[in-house]
Structure 1
């Protein structure tokens, strides 16, 4: 904070990848903030949303900048879980031989199976498109249920999870973390899933409750889990977006695949982040509507 404290009072605009605690106490002239992330829940949790609303500060993000990379990462997780990629790789390296069609190494299929995508924005929409290339049946969940979405066979609301989860073979979480979606998937939702289902999270850790997830994975209630995001337990407000794993050891379970905030770490993404973050400010000071302005009421 000491490094930027002297700069904040005169700033009309800020573009940032992270925010030091207390920064907004010194930004009385601030008119616009360009956030170099897609998710804005960290800003909301630190009270920035309320302050921006009180002062009339505009907020924009770079949503969509990493959509291609994260959607591809999500499908990598789906395929790796379904095909038991890591398990088979380890067996080969350890010199273990299994007979063909052995149940322990038998793959799950994508063709003809049902995928539920929670969140149908830039990332979720691309995931649905990829799933259709595998001949999957795609269900979508969004705030505006019922509105048709390309490559999605049926669209539901967040209140429908218990009804649709028993039909799903794969579930991918790609929704923003808001007051409405925080802790969205808990004991009841996990219990409604098939025991053979796979759950993938490329959004924010706060959408899935940790203890019920651990219980489902260790009791046979869920076949597997993969995530790029992990719980933070109240520290590290703004960067990175994930923690260092699970204090319960979810990331160490044999039916879990992990990466740590690396889904967006792909070719082209960083340059696009910089371009779009800068473009937000150019649009604002040119008096144009910001294409990626964040709705402070909705949180995205």
Structure 2
């Protein structure tokens, strides 16, 4: 169901004031102004805190939010559609067996190229050891060193959805050998030299100089990379996580970085965010870390609204919605 669309049942539709859209997002005020202009027949409510969410959620037919408020699920008596403002919808996992006919859509497709920029830039920084250059610069030290071209190295992408496929294309454009893994291996992926099924992860890890995690957070990917998997990687290899923090066993990665089991890592996501100030990750010399920004474009809200407004029009006209999530699979 990666590219599936779903028709909203006619029983869920109404084009009068009874159709209520509830916005729970940092850009809710801006979205609200635009929605009222485009859809004057709708009632638009904003939930800026838990109290207002509690008051309004029972009235909502449509919810726009970065995650699903599972604690209020039993109050969502009218809710028919949840538009997530992220690509990952792991917030629904605790209640996905109870969601019945609730439609979930996400904003996949808006992150891929920016995250690919982030990954290729991070790969170059890790490969050249830019953190060391910057430490040497701060000490006014001049130490030259040489590296192999990226084109002689292998990029392994774990998860070849829209984001992973964009990363793979960027790696291929740099001349790299690109391998990857995905659930469905029946169709080739442009720019990927070899595609492994999920049970081929061990071989992918052994072959890769850079391992990029771009999988959704579902039960099957929880702590996908831990001590055993890190030991399969080359000592000269780097791990890059742009998926979710829960995909990596963080304490075991810390051990591997400290022991030199792998050369280093680039982390944009963590088990707990913001990262605790006492985490050893902050000061590790072979780690580059960023505050969950890899997919955060400067026009992110506009991109989200384009998808949401298009879907809202489809919802009202009883047409297929874009980016419908397979709730059973979680993506």
TM-score (normalizing by structure 2): 0.81
Deviation, structure 1 residue 248:
4.5
Say yes or no: does 1:78 pair with 2:123: yes
Residue of structure 2 equivalent to 1:22? 71
Say yes or no: does 1:279 pair with 2:328: no
Structure 2 counterpart of 1:57, from 85, 102, 105: 102
- In structure 1, runs of 5+ residues without a counterpart are 233-241
State how far apart, in whole Å, the 2-side matches of 1:246 and 1:276 are.
Answer: 36
Residue of structure 2 equivalent to 1:269? 300
- In structure 2, runs of 5+ residues without a counterpart are 1-49
Say yes or no: does 1:224 pair with 2:264: yes
Residue of structure 1 equivalent to 2:191? 151
Report how many residues are paired: 282
TM alignment of 1:99-114, pairs within 5 A: 100-101=144-145, 106-114=146-154
Structure 2 counterpart of 1:253, from 276, 284, 302: 284
- In structure 2, relative to structure 1, the CA distance for the partners of 1:218 and 1:69 (3 Å cut) is same
Q: Deviations 1:118-155 (Å, cap 9, x if unpaired)?
A: 11111111111111111100001101135311000010
State how far apart, in whole Å, the 2-side matches of 1:268 and 1:26 are.
Answer: 33
Runs of 4+ in 1 over 4 A off after TM superposition: 18-21, 245-248
- In structure 2, relative to structure 1, the CA distance for the partners of 1:292 and 1:21 (3 Å cut) is closer
Residue of structure 2 equivalent to 1:131? 171
Q: Deviations 1:100-129 (Å, cap 9, x if unpaired)?
A: 33xxxx445311211100111111111111
CA RMSD of aligned residues (A): 1.7
Which stretch has the larger CA shift, 125-134 or 1-10?
1-10
